[in-house]
């Protein structure tokens, strides 16, 4: 596979991991605690806190996946995904208007990119450990 295509697919795959993770957790949270999501109202603080927790986990997983799929330079690929996450977070914050509290938007925009890069670091670390173990045999 051409390296540029592999890089694009790695970043897209990492983003897909994030989206699927957040979507699945959002559906699960809504099913388990429907009272936290009131129609046409600002989401409850409890829901926002839970949403931030699973969004951070999805960001780490997405960065990990981007790095793992890329094979080479996992942190670089996670950082590219983090840039995409930052841009999309800023756009989302602008489009959300007053529907979400400012603190929530701030945390999303500032915490998700570093969490994504952390996933890339974890991917690189695991790959190095796997290679070291394979070489020691």
Q: Which residues, including other chains, have CB under 8 Å from residue 72's CB and lie 6 or more apart?
A: 3
Give the DSSP letter of residue 34: G
Place of tokens 């979507």: 23
Residue 97: helix, strand or coil by DSSP? coil
Give the residue extent of every domain in the chain: 3-135
Per-residue pLDDT of the chain (137 residues; tens, 9 = 90+): 898 999 999 999 999 999 999 999 989 988 887 776 666 666 778 888 889 999 999 999 999 999 999 988 999 999 999 999 999 999 988 887 777 888 888 999 999 999 999 999 999 999 888 888 888 87
Angle at the Cα of 136 from the Cα atoms of 134 and 137, rounded to 5 degrees: 70
pLDDT value, residue 6: 94
Alpha-carbon dihedral 120, 126, 131, 133, rounded to 10 degrees: 170
């Amino acid at each position: 596979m051409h390296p540029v295509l592999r890089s694009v697919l790695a970043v897209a795959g990492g983003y897909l991991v994030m989206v699927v993770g957040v979507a699945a957790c959002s559906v699960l949270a809504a099913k388990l605690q429907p009272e936290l999501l009131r129609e046409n109202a600002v989401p409850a603080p409890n829901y926002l806190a839970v949403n931030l927790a699973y969004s951070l986990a999805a960001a780490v997983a997405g960065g990990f996946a981007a790095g793992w799929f890329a094979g080479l330079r996992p942190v670089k690929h996670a950082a590219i995904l983090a840039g995409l996450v930052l841009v999309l977070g800023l756009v989302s914050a602008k489009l959300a208007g007053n529907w979400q509290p400012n603190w929530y938007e701030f945390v999303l925009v500032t915490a998700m990119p570093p969490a994504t890069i952390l996933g890339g670091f974890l991917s690189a670390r695991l790959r190095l450990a796997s290679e070291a173990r394979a070489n020691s045999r």
